[in-house]
């Protein structure tokens, strides 16, 4: 099992550019989520999904879009990159057993810099 994979590991964008951060998991987890990690602010939830075709906003969704066409994949799109989106992005997945959130498995992260 590869677990949760993320690509790319590093990315530099110019203000206004768009891009997609890829996330995939091979554990057949229903729940997938995207976080951003900023110094002194911890991990903040951007978007999440409880299954294919179902997505919802987290704490800081502005400037990001997601879709969940398959159980395995949960890409995060930056529509028009801004310097405030410079961060480390983590994808995570977990089972949903009886509605109870289980242990979340995290990807290695994507370090994004927006100039």
Partner 1 sequence: AQRVTQPEKLLSVFKGAPVELKCNYSYSGSPELFWYVQYSRQRLQLLLRHISRESIKGFTADLNKGETSFHLKKPFAQEEDSAMYYCALSGNFGNEKLTFGTGTRLTIIP
* CA separation for the pair 67, 73 (Å, rounded): 9
Residue 35 touching partner 1 (CB under 8 A): yes
Q: Which listed residue (76, 107, 112, 114) binds partner 1 by CB under 8 A?
A: 107
- Choose the binding region for partner 1 from 8-16, 36-44, 67-75, 79-87 (rule: CB under 8 A): 36-44
- Choose the binding region for partner 1 from 10-18, 22-30, 79-87, 105-113 (rule: CB under 8 A): 105-113
Q: Within 10 A of 1 (CB to CB), how many other CB atoms are there? A: 7
**Number of amino acids touching partner 1 (CB under 8 A):** 22
Strand partners, 88: 37, 111
Please say whether the dihedral angle defined by the alpha carbons of residues 104, 108, 114 and 115, taken in this order, is positive or negative.
Answer: positive
């Amino acid at each position: 099992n590869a677990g949760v994979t993320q690509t790319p590991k590093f990315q530099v964008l110019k203000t206004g550019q768009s891009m997609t951060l890829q996330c995939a998991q091979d554990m057949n987890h229903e729940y997938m989520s995207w976080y951003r990690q900023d110094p002194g602010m911890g991990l903040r939830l951007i978007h999440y999904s409880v299954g294919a075709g179902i997505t919802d906003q987290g704490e800081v969704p502005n400037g990001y879009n997601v879709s969940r066409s398959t159980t395995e994949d949960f890409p995060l799109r930056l529509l028009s990159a801004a310097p405030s989106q410079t961060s480390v992005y983590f994808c995570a997945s977990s089972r949903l057993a009886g509605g109870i959130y289980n242990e979340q498995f995290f990807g290695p992260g994507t370090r994004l810099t927006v100039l």
